[in-house]
Structure 1
């Protein structure tokens, strides 16, 4: 067979030069409310009265500063940020301190429609008990011309949170144990912890308070207490959630290891491809003088117990996967792309000491707050499937950190895929629900006809963050295990398996892109490229996205950075101001393209998060409108060309209700593929609008939002598409040439 030496069509960069600011006028018509003011007042008066009596019965110590927390459920037609009931809160003298998604059947819907069960928002508000007592006495006499009258109509239900409802999961009947307590408290409210301790003492509850973490409006606190007093602990008005402290995921590989007969394992002799890429792995450690220390710095944190054999074995396996991927015994080991800092964060066997969970998070957070890495890998975390109505300490702390740094994190989704799906025990595990990280699951083969490995935890994630895992990669299976360097002193191979090894394999691909392109591609562009170039798998499967996320990562670096002659792939790395619109042109040839054309687009951005408002978790949203043809207008007075759907309707796993609520506007990774007739694409573009919210309310932040977008056009009927586009847009976009020589493929 003759080998055709083709020219290398590199990925095109500087797509942001194809963008312009534009003005679009918005605004909907007036809203028809489900209730009249009179109906709302009549419905809510007895609820406020009952709520006031309930909180008045609480012991004084349970209400620090004589303040209590009450719950207000929003009518589902009023969940958009523009309907936030500000005036009502001010009028009554209460402030919203958190919220959570909640299913409800409203008593009425507007326009006479039949009520059905839908998701809405439950707000937690804090105020003085006297203010709520006043409200309950005065509400029956409120008039419809009051400033907060409209806001009253938006409330479906008002109640006092019941202690038992705050307890998550099942607790043993008796005995002292480590409990995880989530308090409504920001970092400025450290006194809340002291008030909680005083309350426990006043109730004769012997409790020890341990590590605590603050994340936005929440305080995560470790508590050692008698479990039979759980209801009394939860009576404290500042408690949002109480559960048994989860254990660390036991890092047992899912596939039994077997040594592979190797004559002598030959490790590469050169240093890494790039000395500039900074990578950190947080895991079980690497033994002293191990062969991998040629590319790996062993970093020990202060005050730790000695390493255990099992953890070292896991640490070496994860590091091996980050350096070499799954090792093919038939070919020489590839040269690593980057050096690795391996932080040992595990010492004692998990499960024996539940207090370790917060200690480990403290170690990771300590490193990340003191230095910035390009990439990090976490193949560990709590043994806890995610929940829709609560964000865990690990997720809250890591997402907050990742929103502020230029770091791409890979997090394994866990090996709970064979858990009970009715109870949600097979869902991705904390902290892989971070929206500012890539959650990685495992598939069962590196070859063709792949699918999710049975052990790999499934989606969906929370909304926003529905598509979790983001990606999958080979993680090993019983019949085909994952091959890594063994932990022994003499270089040899061993087999293993689990999402723990799929995550660093994806990290390796990311470091390869960074090593070759340097700072020309930032971490957001690399995240976007990894999603953009994935293989979608068997699309017949309706539940596909819950199994494999967007798909399996590309097989090689070439698949990501090189284009065929009939394809262009353009990277946009830009910024957009709040409430502004930009128009991003999609580069196509001047002459209409023949035949069918496939357009694929992916957009990612980092966002600050509100863990105390899980249903409104992301503070930033991008609304993207596709305009395929700049000469098509439906109406005479229309300012902008006709739009066509691109991302919204294709959000996988989204229910009708979520699409109706436009939940996808707040997803910080969007990816879709559309096929269009080439002749219908005339100067196509995406209009991108930046929406911002804070704790579910309208908000205009002072700073711009960084985003990365990758758009591909594939036209079988245009054999020289790449060359045509490069020539036509020569002054704007340009091929991204590697800062290093690309290795010649043999």
Structure 2
């Protein structure tokens, strides 16, 4: 009997992309307030700001400048509503932003909101003289400035809300201090010098040796007395001060007696499938007699101290998961897909600021070495917060924005902590928009759910759907077995093992198809093939990964998966033709699509964090007359075929406020699926608009960004859709060709 053919992924989808020209623009904005209303309601707040700014000590205001906050009405989230004219007209500059929830005094919709809504809070800096004269300056301003002024909901001086939680009772806690200090500008260096002088005035020894600069933020780490923190926070350019988090592994100590479960395991000395491919693990190191000498090289970060027994053990287990996935008693471990450099970045010298030291080691290594996949099963032991982006997150996001490396991060094991307080949310750097965050599923087979310990979502917006995916990470009911020493596999649990198991599948794709897949495409394929089922998206993100590489690398009968990848060019619009056989469809059709970009970020602007966005219009028909649309009772001919909704149906976005339609356009990962009658599709397309912003305001699309679009088309009852599509696009689309010999089975 002849073996069934293997239908591999279809590549070169980018040959179906073409530039187009479309009209854009919206209707007239309905403003909540007139200028007179806005000025009247904000006058008391401006008076308070004037007094607060004038009361600041001179040393707390470098160059005699101060920072205040402007909170916009919740209906002004889009970049087109940024108050640029107001800031320029008043001689102010934005130094950051964050999310704030407010109950607006007036509403433009028919129904008033029942709960506070998301609004942008902008941090703006300027001379104390100008900030203390806001009322007079606004009254004398030109109409454009006054028009922007009516978008403001609140004006506030900087207060004690910048002091975060400093747990414990130690007299000199280790602090993480974040300053608005853009050192690419002269004023940023002035802020740093000013803060040093301010701390010296207070008797605080501010150690700048650990300073890390990310965008417009400077992160510092030093000890100070609890009594001094309040005085320190009077420094006007302070963004936040909080207790420095500890560094943690992403595994947990099992309480069940089954943790003692072990079985013997024999590892071969075979070379990996792709001997040219090399990935990286950043962890606690490997002992000299580790069981993977044929495919793993253990390297020490420069200047690192001695290893710890706990770190070495964790390092072996994480590396085992990335090489082999979960091990099974009686089964020979599968051949690894790639070589691995295991970088030891932890040592026994770790102090209160180990978090910053370790991150510096990781970033130095990444900047000096080239890896297509890296895994982090370590990170800050604290949950995501909405109003600020962690230094781990922002530095790794900036690195991954090039699209040259897939960064995989364990989501954290705090999922069983307080939900109301948000302590169960994902931990840095898994909240990165360019980082693949992996949570843990409790079982490898059917009946799976989020492991109780696995960190939950949502992420911040942008980056709302987090963790991105789940992979099996072990539970008391079913342990994840990983190498624990030469010849021994031990049952473990944690997102520490789910993350490298997911990274392993990405390496398998890269080994199988070589350079036919970019790192961004690897991320997109993993997200695309994750299945959510009936689980809440806040628990599982886009869903759980399949166990086998076969289920990602191949297509089922009756379906075809096409990979589009490359550079999203600076030109505004591109049309992505979706794969349709020449003879059309004869039965119901399902379209499943995942779109991923690698985007630059603005760490100081948490609410406007991503610089790249996409507006995606799905047009099910593009053949024939575009039809007519009714505008103010009159029918007018459309200039383009009608668009229907496609993305934007995820459960988490349904909880966002109605006015925040713009938010999803700035997400780095989009995924959706819909079913259509065959007569409703006639050369369907995605028309994709390339959007750009910087610090929340419009910016030129000065450069292209890496993207990947995965589209799966399936036709009910069809057995030859795959071949029909290949034939219909001969010379353009083609099946991807395996570059190495990996056993792959046809999917039935």
What is the TM-score with the length of structure 1 in the denominator? 0.95
DSSP 3-state at the match of 2:602: coil
Q: What is the CA distance between 1:239 and its match in structure 2?
A: 0.6
Q: Could you tell me how far apart the structure 2 residues matched to 1:658 and 1:409 are?
A: 33
**Residue 252 to residue 508, structure 1, CA distance change in 2 (3 Å):** closer
- Which moves more between the two structures, 83-92 or 419-428? 83-92
Q: CA deviation at 1:316?
A: 0.2
Deviation by residue 1:122-161 (Cα, 9 ceiling, x = unmatched): 100011101223333444x436x53412111111111111
Alpha-carbon separation, structure 2, partners of 1:435 and 1:248:
21
- Tell me which moved more, 616-625 or 252-261: 252-261
The structure 2 residue matched to 1:617, chosen from 588, 594, 609, is 609
Distance apart, 1:252 and its partner CA: 5.1
Q: Does 1:165 align with 2:165?
A: no
TM-superposition CA deviations, 1:423-458 (whole Å, max 9, x none): 001111111101101000000111111111111010
Q: Aligned residue for 1:706?
A: 706
1:554 aligned residue = 546
Structure 1 residue 305 displacement after superposition: 2.2
Q: Secondary structure of the residue that 1:414 maps to in structure 2?
A: coil
Match of 1:478 among 473, 476, 479: 476
Structure 2 partner of 1:118: 117
Task: Give the match for residue 148 of structure 2.
Answer: 151
Per-residue displacement from partner, 1:486-525 (whole Å, max 9, x unpaired)? Answer: 13xx322112110000000011101111111111111111
2:632 matched residue in structure 1: none
Structure 2 residues without counterparts, runs of 5 or longer? 629-635
Displacement after TM superposition at 1:682 (Å):
1.4
Report the equivalent of 1:271: 271
- Contact 1:586-1:684 at 8 Å conserved across structures: yes
Match status 1:506 vs 2:502: yes
Contact 2:251 2:497 in 1 (8 A): no
State how far apart, in whole Å, the 2-side matches of 1:295 and 1:574 are: 31
Aligned residues: 732
In the other structure, the counterpart of 2:126 is: 127
1:410 shift after superposition: 0.7
1:743 deviation in Å?
2.3
Matched with 2:394 is 396
Residue pair 1:171, 1:227 contacting (<8 A) in 2 also:
no
2:537 to 545, 548, 565: 545
Name which of structure 1's ranges 720-729 and 569-578 shifts more when overlaid on structure 2.
569-578
Q: Which moved more, 1:495-504 or 1:84-93?
A: 84-93
1:257-309 per-residue CA deviation (whole Å, 9 max, x = no partner) reads 745564x5321232000012120100010001322132111101233221111
How far residue 49 of structure 1 moved from its aligned partner, in angstroms, is 2.6
List aligned pairs for 1:578-593, cutoff 5 A. Answer: 578=570, 580-593=572-585
- Mapped to 2, the partners of 1:479 and 1:685 lie a distance apart of 46
| Residues 481 and 567 of structure 1, relative CA distance in 2, 3 Å threshold | same
Change (3 A) 1:61 1:125: same
Going from structure 1 to structure 2, the CA distance change for 1:261 and 1:211 (only over 3 Å counts) comes to closer
User: Cα deviations across residues 672-712 of structure 1 (Å, max 9, x unaligned)?
Assistant: 11111123221111111111110000001311122110101
Instruction: Give distance in 1, aligned partners of 2:701 and 2:302.
Output: 39
Query: 1:600: which partner in 2?
Result: 592
Asked if the contact 1:460/1:653 (under 8 Å) is kept, the reply is: no
Cα distance in 1 between the residues matched to 2:460 and 2:610: 11
Residue 186 (str. 1) matches residue 185 (str. 2): no
Q: Give the structure 1 partner of residue 720 of structure 2.
A: 720
Residues in 2 aligned to 1:345 and 1:194: alpha-carbon distance in whole angstroms: 31
Query: Matched residue of 1:176: which SS?
Result: coil
SS of 2:595's partner is: strand
Structure 2 CA distance for partners of 1:260 and 1:104, relative to 1, 3 Å: closer
Q: How far apart in 2 are the matches of 1:658 and 1:315?
A: 46
Q: For residue 457 of structure 1, what is the aligned residue in structure 2?
A: 455
The 8 Å contact of residues 273 and 741 in structure 2, kept in 1 or not, is answered as no
C-alpha spacing 1:4/1:169, structure 2 compared with 1 (3 Å): farther
2-side partners of 1:659 and 1:327: how far apart?
49
| CA distance in 1: counterparts of 2:23 and 2:558, whole angstroms | 38
Aligned to 1:10: 8
Measure how far apart 1:111 and its partner are.
Answer: 6.3
Q: Name the structure 1 match of 2:384.
A: 386
**Shift of residue 112 of structure 1?**
7.0
Written as runs of structure 1 = structure 2, the 5 A alignment for 1:546-695 is: 546-578=538-570, 580-631=572-623, 633-635=626-628, 637-650=637-650, 652-657=652-657, 660-695=660-695
Instruction: Give the equivalent residue in structure 2 for 1:531.
Output: 527
Q: Contact 1:248–1:354 (CA<8 Å) still a contact in 2?
A: no
Cα offset, 1:389, TM superposition: 0.8
Structure 2 length as normaliser, TM-score? 0.94
